[in-house]
Amino acid sequence: MIPRRGTYPSSRYQRQIALPPMGELGQKRLREARVTLIGMGALGCVQAAYLARSGVGLLRLVDRDVVEEGNLQRQLLFDESDALEGAPKAEAARRHLQSANSEIVLESRVRHLEPGNARELLSGSDVILDGTDNFETRFLINDYSIATGTPWVYGACVGTVGIAAPLIPGRSACLRCLLSPESSTPEPTCESAGILGPVAGIIGSLQAAAALRILVERAAWDPWGPIRVEAWDGMPTVLPRSKPDPRCPACAERKLEFLEGRRSAAQEVLCGREAVQVLPYSRAPRDLCEAERILSRHGEVRRTPYLLRATLQGHHFSIFPDGRVIVFGTSDPLRARALVDRYLAGF
Ligand SMILES: [Zn+2]
């Protein structure tokens, strides 16, 4: 059968156009839209699949990582051959999505989003979707969103719990109105606390639905408040809509420290030691007792008067009370950073 290309309006979007809030105008707006997805993990795969199939005109897929076997449990766009090949996630996702919809433009960027490239990677977006695994990147997206007035959709999940929130500058709270970057206790991660695949499906779907609504209704939409889902017990909670906080350092005082690079984590290769030191973005002192309690459930942890040594799934870390982490066994700064985000996000 010859595929039908460029025959819009075709039957492809018929059941979506039939929705009263969508219609032909909504579909046209989707076709003209540009969306950037940061992170092509479990959330990004779900977001991208729905947006590509919905006919969003341009999707930019940004991810720094490669597909591994341990991703296949929940990262729905990838298959065993991607993992065997160690394909970059952004590129593997682009390939699979293009075969699902040849009518849209897909860009893959195998990059780590950071202050130096944020304006380039996020430029021209009508909406940005969060599929990241760490709060530093989320605060960076938040700063860019405020600087440029670009809506974004926050999403996170770990264990059996997830949360999604559309954040539209001027109309809703921003991420820093809701959360402080100064966390002294370790955040659980999918590596340390596990992840139930369907939680990512629910949260990624909510994020995709919010993105579609932003694209179709534009300034007319007053976004819903954060939705929290406990998927094992079947408990959804809709939190109240929150307005911008007049004392927020980011959206009220416009101190965009993450975008300006003044609050970035930094990596430093330690000469001759096959080790990299990662300096955290948060300046709060670390609670090593709490860290020991949480991490000891997932690996071997030993506390000395000065630091915490942890071996988590074969990776060795030294964690200091001032927040520094030394990652042993690599001299690649980005690899070290990815391991810290994977196992110790929030340190
Ligand atoms: Zn704010």
Per residue in 332-347, pLDDT (tens digit) is 888 888 888 888 765 4
Structure-block tokens of residue 193: 């606390």
Alpha-helical (H) ranges within 19-152 are 23-31, 42-54, 80-85, 89-100, 115-122, 135-148
- Pair 131, 210 in one domain: yes
Tokens of 152: 């974004």
Distance 142 CA to ligand 1 centre (A): 9
* Predicted confidence (pLDDT) at residue 33 exceeds the cutoff of 90: yes
Instruction: Report pLDDT for 304.
Output: 83
Closest CA to 57 of 8, 21, 95: 8
Give 285's pLDDT tier (boundaries 50, 70, 90).
confident
57, 136: one domain: yes
How many angstroms separate the Cα of 134 from the Cα of each of 24, 39, 157, 289?
38, 10, 11, 22
User: Is the pLDDT score of 230 beyond 70?
Assistant: yes
Residue scoring higher pLDDT (306 or 76): 76
pLDDT at 266: 79
Ligand 1 center to 217 CA (angstroms):
23
Query: What does the pLDDT read at residue 1?
Result: 44
DSSP 305: S
Output the pLDDT for position 347.
Answer: 46
For residue 315, pLDDT over 70 is answered with yes
Q: Report yes or no on 62 lying in a domain.
A: yes
Q: What is the pLDDT of residue 298?
A: 81
Looking at the 3D structure of the chain, how many domains does it have? 2
What was the pLDDT predicted at 209? 98
In this structure, which residues have their CB less than 5 angstroms from ion ligand 1? 174, 176-177, 248, 250-251
Distance CA 141, CA 143 (A): 5
Distance in Å, CA 110 to ligand 1 centroid: 30
For ligand 1, the distance from its centroid to the CA atom of residue 119, given in whole angstroms, is 20
Residue 276 in any domain: the answer is yes
126 CA → ligand 1 middle, Å: 20
Residue 36 alpha carbon to ligand 1 centre in Å:
21
CATH number, domain with residue 81: 3.40.50.720
Paired tokens of 333? 């700064």
Contact 281, 264 (CB under 8 A): yes
- What value does the mean pLDDT of the chain take? 90
* Rounded distance from Cα 168 to ligand 1 centre (Å): 10
Report which listed range, 177-181, 265-269, 339-343, is most confident. 177-181
Is the confidence at residue 76, as pLDDT, over 50?
A: yes
CA distance 42 to 166: 18
Q: Which amino acid is at 211?
A: A
Same-domain pairing of 152 and 59: yes
- 62-66, 246-250, 327-331 — which one is most confidently predicted on average? 246-250
Whether 284 has a pLDDT exceeding 90, the answer reads: no
pLDDT score of 186:
60
For residues 109 and 188, state if they share a domain.
yes
Mean local confidence (pLDDT), 270-291: 80
In a domain, 245, yes or no: no
C-alpha angle with apex 207: 201 to 209, nearest 5 degrees? 100
Of the chain, the percentage scoring pLDDT greater than 90 comes to 65
**What is the Cα–Cα distance from 141 to 133, expressed in whole angstroms?**
13
What's the pLDDT at 4?
52
Handedness of CA 93, 47, 214, 19 (dihedral sign): positive
Does 277 share its domain with 234?
no
Would residue 260 count as lying in a domain?
no
- The answer to whether position 255 is within a domain reads no
pLDDT at 2 over 70: no
Average pLDDT over every residue of 106-131: 95
- Say what the pLDDT of residue 52 is: 98
The percentage of the chain sitting over the pLDDT mark of 70, rounded to a whole number, equals 94
Residues paired with residue 34 on neighbouring β-strands, in sequence order:
58
Rounded distance from Cα 153 to ligand 1 centre (Å)? 14
Distance 41 CA to ligand 1 centre (A): 27
* Section 23-27 average pLDDT: 97
Range of the domain at 303: 266-344
Mean pLDDT of 32-37: 98
Higher pLDDT among residues 263 and 238, named by residue:
238
Distance, CA 18 to ligand 1 centroid (Å)? Answer: 37
Q: Are residues 21 and 86 in the same domain?
A: yes
Local confidence band at 184 (pLDDT 50, 70, 90 cut-offs): low
Read off the pLDDT of each residue in 33-46 and give the average, rounded to a whole number: 98
